Structure 1
């Protein structure tokens, strides 16, 4: 963790002495010289920080050293930022600009001398820390050679042994998955296959695998079996040695003495020889990385005896790769359902297996935090068995202070160790990204896009050639998901992640770790101001505003978040001494009515969110925020931005719109905002939604073509006369992934027939307005997965032009066609999963030919008043899971009742629903 702080500081040290700042450093106070010395010392120590970060878990001396390095990095970063603030003003070019810079130089001389003195003091401390580093160096070398984790590894091995000896009463909901896995092991006698059990730590992978391994049928079916624990603290040679020992024992032969002296290649050859002609089952428990599997797999012959390898892993990438390479299977373990969780909890806590009525609410609250994780349920139960059932406050204390219990209760140490293993195994660049999740409250759904933008603004993302910071951050997120440290909650129809979350126990652990490393401070209802650190870096205020002492300083604060705060209070009241170094200000859903004027002084601000506030106007001083990258005003009342917004040359994400539900028309309409015509000057923009383009004679539309970095673009109030200019601009946006266009009114035609070179990376296209014809280029988009056409009122069947879009997954058509018949041809929409047909006023008949829409899973038809029957051929859609009929004719609904003439057509669909719009709701 200290490494990320040092890396950020080194980047600042590398870029701070340029142009006029370089001159100032030479002339005043020797700032540059001290900074160069500091950079040299930190670069030397950085080489060992990665190793030290892992070693500090078991070595207190190393932990203290890492803390000292981290604190110095933070202090130096603050000093450098204060130095930068002295020269934040734009002095212009030429002689006048030079004179202004010199004047500023003289005025700030005293401050520069002070900063140089502070850096000199820090350098003195760094030299002292370097002496300690030399003394600790032998520990780092041992750790890098793999010799420094013996105690950790042994403890973990012993603990895993406990998982194999669980009492039968702890095994809940295991019967069905066990039978499924046994079936997979027996099915097919062809070559070697791999069955992977994947899931987060503590979910019961080892326990389930052991039940399968010990099953009498499995023991009888496989001639040779071996169970080998593979984890990050064991060398590959030890794993192979253990496997050889077990295999000789399984075939009842004495282990040759020569085995003890074999190298890895010889061990692999021996294993292969022993297994070549036998049907075997090898369990590889606790595989963390693909290289561990690669080390072992070549020793396991791919014979035709029906042999199997079963592995447990927290890493879904390991499971997916082994499945693909071996044509195997993946079993993803899920949390225990609520009823079974409650039964297990009561059985472990209460002798009579029944919870006393006065404790039930508290116990259910505690159990809810376990979220179906078996290890969490069993270990928290062991804590509660010591509590007196008559002392309700003792139980309530556990429910309210779970984090403190995990930190201080010896009975929960093993649970903490199991969950922390996944964190400790993270590469250095992912650890701060994961700790960052501690800012979010309990049960909060974390929006993917929000998290990615925050990571980027905080400087937690490393630069990679050929990728934007957002793309690298997206890779980081998927890596955390692969490692079972986060779970996906909601996705789009085409598989994009919308929201995710972390397990409550993991959240409590990383809150504790964040506090310990001064990474994040969380202030909740129970918190008291005395717990605040003097040099607090990130502050997450949750549910209620804290009582702040008048002299409380948060001058070094870098990020401020508010979650669920409904009390009205101004920033000066909360933080009377300010925070000039702030990078992130997230006031999402706060009770704000006016734009906070205090923001004008936040030169370093990169991320500003006033989403879902009541702010109506943005002041002109917004142009002073030269480093702003994200401005999120979505769902606020802002409908116009000042011309000064064009000064924000680093702005990457500009979100200013509201989604309005239009009566019973069953879809949202986006209200955009007005912006200065020269929007093309914001060359760094990646997301721009939604701007009104019916102004300034098409200047804005022409300017859009200059935004070559755009990934997502939203336009409203488009006119027909602007079609040609818009096509010209879109053709220049080669990185565009999502495009949303709305006409100025329902009857206004959207004219996009002039686009000769469409953006081939386009994935999502939304068009709201009249069309003379389906734009010819849509069918040629190879990456288009979602298409929405509303108010198109086409005279020709649009399906003819759309059916061959190669990767279309979701299609929404609302008032898109004025004909009486739609026909889905046999060779069309081969990857479509979701189809919505809404408000086809003339439609009387829908035909689905056999072979059309083979992958369709959900079909929604609504407000088609003349449609007399369900689609003819709907019976061919064998993968259809949901059929929704909304506000449809009564006569049609009668045909699919159990006694209706068309009931047989929909009898294969698991879910058929019917709704009507009455009195303003469905």
Structure 2
């Protein structure tokens, strides 16, 4: 949050916060310097018992106001206003808007069924919207089934219980109609509450579990379906994000806290050893209590998620995970060591590490990922040795990386390399010529990158080159004309003022995205080209998350 405030105020270089307290101290100084205009700061969906968090905002700035929304009141911090459920009339209006298209009325329904379903939602906007959209375009029989299921619950005293009943019925309909979509929705519970989830992480996960396409088309379609049903919030942070090319670094999703709790409760119905998804949240007390048994449990989960705000050490806990295919590590700290029990994950297909803390994480114990028995404990491991068959690497906001390590270029099977928002990256090695199988190279928002190496012309299989928002790049190397398979070039937000003559050799180039003022540079190359499309665009973004993916 503090990071976002700094960038919103135009600070290109954000201070390196040493702790939460340090971050809030910098925020107070920033707000006091901003000028005379009053500020309204909204803290949305603050967790209960978060008084300690709110204490950080007690600094006084004349004219400023802070609005807190939460499921619980915080009387120590001033007056509160309790939002009431919607009135019967407003509840019906919202439900009909969600459930019935504008060209269709409710005459095909028994009014008592419609009223009963709306009443079961207890005036909660989330329940009314979710249940309504789940019934949209459904046959009358499905409406009757929903009515009967909700009627079985009888009068419910607890408000949240009534809401959960409604949402549970919507999940049932989701499962009946699209089993894979239901499974994907359940997988969102593997990530922390109230945090944006990179769509690229979900794509990697679902490719391995459900054999969806590797370009992410199916996965994004599922997320859009869930968004249409109001089951997730889907945010695309750039107006020029191009889904056709499989670029989803700007797509993020978030699951409502009640829906996340619901799916995780459903995942927890079975004993720990039998769960398909095992979700572990490590608090200050360490690993959850497994009981008094000396033997650690042997779990059958295909998916294992560990979320920790403590430093994750290799021997923090132990578990037998022979069936795990996907391991998700959600860390909030600067240091993270891969757990030793990963040695037993013989079926592991995907490792997803997402950092939600202030600082870039330092991940160690990577030796667990390779099967090199002769490596010593103090050996420096290279991905090119441990995982020589890597096909895709995506790095987002590795803000302390100044150059791409030369050994990266030994990954000769690599097909896709995406580096975005690595603001300190200033050069690419000449050895990049070794990546002869590379088809997609994305270098987005790397603001210190001044040029592309001349050896880039050796990448004869390259189809897509993206240097969007690399503001320091002023020219393209003449060797770019050797990329005879290049189909798409994205250069919007760069500082290119002239094009090399060799551009004329790009006979297969079909699409160019650039700034309005740069389109004139392409006119000399359009004389004999009827298949080349030049598009001008503008836009910008702020990246807020760290994500590192290996496929």
TM over 0.5: yes
CA contact (8 A) 1:441 1:542 kept: yes
In structure 2, distance between residues paired with 1:421 and 1:782: 49
Alignment match, 2:212: 462
Structure 1 residues 842-881: aligned runs within 5 Å = none
Partner of 1:557: 324
Structure 1 residues 698-717: aligned runs within 5 Å: 698-700=454-456, 702-708=457-463, 710=464, 712=466
Over 3 Å counting, the alpha-carbon distance change for 1:482 and 1:677 in structure 2 is same
- Say which structure, 1 or 2, has more relative contact order (CA 8 Å, 6+ apart): 2
Q: Which residue of 1 aligns with 2:230?
A: 484
Task: Identify, as 1 or 2, the structure richer in helix.
Answer: 1
Match of 1:382 among 157, 165, 168: 157
Partner residue, 2:199: 448
Distance in 1, Cα, partners of 2:458 & 2:319 = 48
- Work out the CA distance in 1 between the residues paired with 2:535 and 2:520: 20
- The answer to whether structure 1 residue 436 and structure 2 residue 187 are counterparts is yes
The question of 1:647 aligning with 2:411 is answered yes
Question: Which runs of structure 2 are paired with 1:417-436 in the superposition (5 Å)?
Answer: 417-436=168-187
Describe the SS at the equivalent of 2:277.
coil
Deviation of the 1:475 alpha carbon: 2.3
Query: Which residue of 247, 254, 278 corresponds with 1:501?
Result: 254
Aligned pair 1:523/2:278, yes or no?
A: no
| 1:444 shift after superposition | 1.1
Given the alignment, which residue of 625, 631, 653 partners 2:393?
631
1:704: how far off?
Answer: 3.4
Label 1:455 to 1:172 Cα distance change in 2 as closer, same or farther (>3 A): same
> Partner residue of 1:658?
422
Question: What whole-Å deviation, never above 9, does each CA across 1:316-355 have from its counterpart, x for those lacking one?
Answer: xxxxxxxxxxxxxxxxxxxxxxxxxxxxxxxxxxxxxxxx
Aligned counterpart in structure 1 of residue 307 of structure 2, from 529, 533, 542: 542
Work out which of the two has the higher radius of gyration on C-alpha atoms and give 1 or 2: 1
TM-score, normalised by the number of residues in structure 2: 0.55
Provide the C-alpha distance between the structure 1 equivalents of 2:103 and 2:89, rounded to a whole number of angstroms.
10
CA distance in 1, matches of 2:193, 2:298: 26
2:379 pairs with 1:622: no
Contact 1:649 1:682 in 2 (8 A): yes
Distance 1:635 1:174, change over 3 A: same
Is the Cα contact below 8 Å between 2:450 and 2:472 reproduced in 1?
Answer: yes
Residues 321, 344 of structure 2: 8 Å contact kept: yes
In 1, the alpha carbon distance for the partners of 2:472 and 2:282 equals 44
Aligned length: 394
1:502 Cα deviation from its structure 2 partner: 1.9
| Change over 3 Å in CA distance of 1:629–1:570 after alignment to 2 | same
1: CA distance between counterparts of 2:217 and 2:224? Answer: 11
TM-superposed deviation, 1:569: 4.7
Q: Are 1:598 and 2:480 matched, yes or no?
A: no
SS at match of 1:198: helix
CA contact (8 A) 1:658 1:672 kept: no
**Partner deviation per Cα, 1:550-582 (whole Å, 9 max, x = no partner):** 65333543333333422645225x648554543
Match of 1:417, SS state, is: helix
Q: Distance in 2 between matches of 1:418 and 1:571?
A: 39
Contact 1:520 1:539 (C-alpha < 8 Å) held by counterparts: yes
| 1:677 and 2:394 correspond | no
Shift of 1:530: 1.4
**Secondary structure of the equivalent of 1:681?**
coil
Aligned partners of 1:657 and 1:673 also within 8 Å = no
The superposition leaves residues 255-281 of structure 1 with CA deviations (integer Å, 9 ceiling, x where unpaired) of xxxxxxxxxxxxxxxxxxxxxxxxxxx
1:726 equivalent among 467, 475, 480: 480
Cα distance, 1:528 vs structure 2: 0.7
Work out which of the residue numbers 577, 584, 591 in structure 1 matches 2:350.
584
Following superposition, the deviation at residue 482 of structure 1 comes to 3.0
Contact 1:486 1:500 in 2 (8 A): yes
Report the counterpart of residue 87 of structure 2 in structure 1.
172
Name the residue aligned to 2:503.
Answer: 754
- Other-structure match for 2:267: 514
Q: 1:765 to 1:209 in 2, by over 3 A?
A: closer
Unaligned runs of 5+ in 1: 1-168, 182-194, 200-204, 214-224, 232-284, 296-310, 315-374, 385-405, 604-616, 661-669, 788-809, 813-833, 835-922
Q: CA deviation at 1:443?
A: 1.0
Q: Is the 8 A contact 1:429 1:460 kept in 2?
A: yes
User: For 2:307 and 2:155, how far apart are their aligned partners in 1?
Assistant: 25
Secondary structure of 1:488 counterpart: strand
Q: Paired residue for 1:566, among 324, 333, 339?
A: 333
Aligned partner of residue 554 in structure 1, secondary structure:
coil
Tell me if structure 2 keeps the 8 A contact 1:542–1:563.
Answer: yes
Q: What CA distance in whole angstroms lies between the structure 2 residues aligned with 1:671 and 1:447? A: 25
Corresponding residue for residue 54 of structure 2:
none
For 1:63, the equivalent position in structure 2 comes to none
Cα pair distance change 1:629/1:598, threshold 3 Å? same
Deviation string 1:878-911 (CA, Å, 9 cap, x unpaired) is xxxxxxxxxxxxxxxxxxxxxxxxxxxxxxxxxx
How far the C-alpha of 1:765 sits from its partner, in A, is 3.2
Partner Cα distance (1:287, 1:588) in 2: 31
RMSD: 5.3
Gaps of 5+ in 2: 1-83, 114-131, 243-249, 373-378, 542-551
Give the equivalent residue in structure 1 for 2:98: 198
Aligned mates of 1:566, 1:513 — CA distance in 2: 29
